[in-house]
Amino acid sequence: MGIASTIGTFAARPAVQAGALLGGAAAVASFSPTLMPRPTLDQALVTGGSMLGGFAVGAAAYRAASAATTGAARLGAGPAIARVAGPLALAAVGGVAMLAARREDGESVGRSAIRSAGMVTMLGAGAAAAVGAGAAAHTMIAARVPAGRVIGPALIGAAVLGVGAGALTRNLDRSARAHGGDDSPGSALRPIGIGLGVAGAVGGMIALGRAGGGVIGGGLASRLPGPASAWRIAGHAAVLGIVGGLGALAVGKAAGAFERSNHKLEPAYDTPPTMPNVSGGPGSLVGFDVLGRQGRRFVSEAVPAATITEVTGAPAVDPIRVYVGTPAGATIDERVQLAMGELERTGAFERSMLVFASPSGTGFVNPIPIAASEYMSRGDVATVAMQYGSRPSVLSADRVSPGARQNAALLDAIESRLREIPEARRPRLVMYGESLGAHTTQDVFLHEGTDALQRAGVDRALWSGSPFRSEWRQQVLGTPRDDVDPTLVGEFDSIEELQARPDSVNDRMRVVLLTHDNDPVAKFGVDMLVQEPAWLRGNRPETVPDEMSWTPGVTFLQSALDAKNAATVVPGEFASNGHDYRADLAPFVREAYRFDHVDDAELERITSRLVADDLERSRQVTG
């Protein structure tokens, strides 16, 4: 049998047609707008994934409806009625699930999952009904119209394409209104083409895996005792194990490559600093070579006193920066001892403020808020950070717990040391973390609310871009708890939102969460697969597109790619959007750490210098 005949036979199967119908609908839905615009390749990945998911649901729904159709036929129903009865029975099952799990305020993910399953079942039933109706119409046309065997499918195909094209055009128009860009139907051709290729490739691998599992299972069944069905299951399990193992190996190799790159010297940061009050400098207990790439950048960019004076017009001292990379010590205790030794060596406990900063997954500490605090304090500040990983955040889920344990150990050591200093001379202890850095510091206080920060002697905290999965953030902002004082915490999208509150309210606040309303990192979670997020219902924030809606599965894929793209930045062009907080950080540092002596004119000069430094940093790193 030729390839064309094989494809034709496959496409003629009603279950395949139902899958293709729902897969096409899911592909069209994938072009709807979300929090971030998507490049062509990302859109293609979302489209391909949506096609596969829709195809699987549609094909499964048709098979389930077919069982009901067969039952109706056996009860004496005619072919036309039986074709309708099957999908209607399936739709009824989905409707009952949706009614049983009607939306409630604060509902569990499980309840949402039941309702979403009901919704997906009804969509699948709709696809099955459409295929059944199309088959009936084709039979009718073929029997009564010359050349009906050709005209019927052509009319049905034209109707499906027309509806799909109209929906696609509407989604493209909505995306253009939300994010700009091309709203012509032609702009979707490339993502759809690539998406078809992605879906076909993944579908082919799944089919190959199933065939391989069948071959393995058949071979085992022919040689070993026991039911053949059990060996078939074992064969498929073996294939899944092989695929999972290969996937884990690939992730491991990628993580290893990132970790090795962390040790490479960059031409722009290959010389140890000359300032004695930074790690890696003269007299340091931590060698420049074991700071890692991000650590070397961090200590090399401490703002000299002369530059602080130049920008602020005030006398200044050189700030202190302490950084301990993971290669510097084999255990958490060893690294904490090094950090404490560096703080003592540099005189950090004699400064007016001590910033406890937690890096992101690669060890990166955003230089903008640290430099801003150095300008605003006139250099009378020490910052300490300890690396807990060398991978991008997306590969660092397993580093959150070790990072939190390390931060807790360092915080305990600092707290003990601060208690030895008379209160009048004790530096203010403040915290900063961004993205995974925010998560790993917040987890230090998990299940202890705001009480734990006060017990630890933390005067202020500024956390930007806290990930959705940060449970501490959800605890302090969610249902009232005995260990949470809500007046101590505030979450803001912009500095204007913070400044709009009365001074008396802000004076009491100790924890500032800077979280953009359109930051996918702060909103994307696994529950989005089956649960419509609260921020898409009711009065949504201004930066969440009015055109955005939620579709089970599809919105999850879209938001996963949004989270990847949210931190894409242009050097030297500070923005306040998505996961880019550069434009917010200097004013939030002033407000969160209460640098009340910094007026708007000075803040503008500091910001201008931070922008220039950001551009210069990019030039140095990229060569």
Of residues 449 and 193, more confidence is placed in 449
Largest CA distance in the chain: 100
The per-residue pLDDT of the chain, averaged, comes to 87
Phi-psi domain of 107 (left: phi exceeds 0; alpha: psi -120 through 50; beta: other): beta
- Condensed to tens digits (0 to 9), the pLDDT of residues 326-369 reads 999 999 999 999 999 999 999 999 999 999 999 998 899 999 99
Return d(Cα 189, Cα 342) in angstroms, integer: 58
Residue 623: predicted pLDDT? 62
CA Rg, the chain, in Å?
30
pLDDT at 1: 47
Whether residue 386 contacts residue 409, with contact meaning beta carbons closer than 8 Å, is answered with no
Q: In the chain, what percentage of residues exceed pLDDT 70?
A: 89
Residues 103-148 pLDDT 10s: 888 888 999 999 999 999 998 888 888 877 776 666 666 666 665 5
* Beta strands per DSSP E along 262-411: 320-324, 353-358, 381-386
- Which one is predicted more confidently, 155 or 260? 260
* Residue 223 pLDDT level (bands cut at 50, 70, 90): confident
Residue 262's pLDDT is what? 73
Strand partners for 463? 433, 513
What SS3 state is found at 456?
coil
- pLDDT(178) > 90: no
β strands within 543-622, DSSP E: none
Does the pLDDT at position 591 exceed 90? yes
- Range scoring the smallest mean pLDDT among 50-64, 304-318, 505-519: 50-64
Query: How many other CB atoms are found less than 10 A from the CB of residue 285?
Result: 18
Percent of the chain with pLDDT over 90: 54
Task: Give tens-digit pLDDT for 268-289.
Answer: 898 999 999 999 999 999 999 9
pLDDT value for 71:
65
Which of 9-13, 268-272, 543-547 has the least mean pLDDT? Answer: 9-13
pLDDT digits (tens, 9 = 90+) for 478-492: 889 999 999 999 999
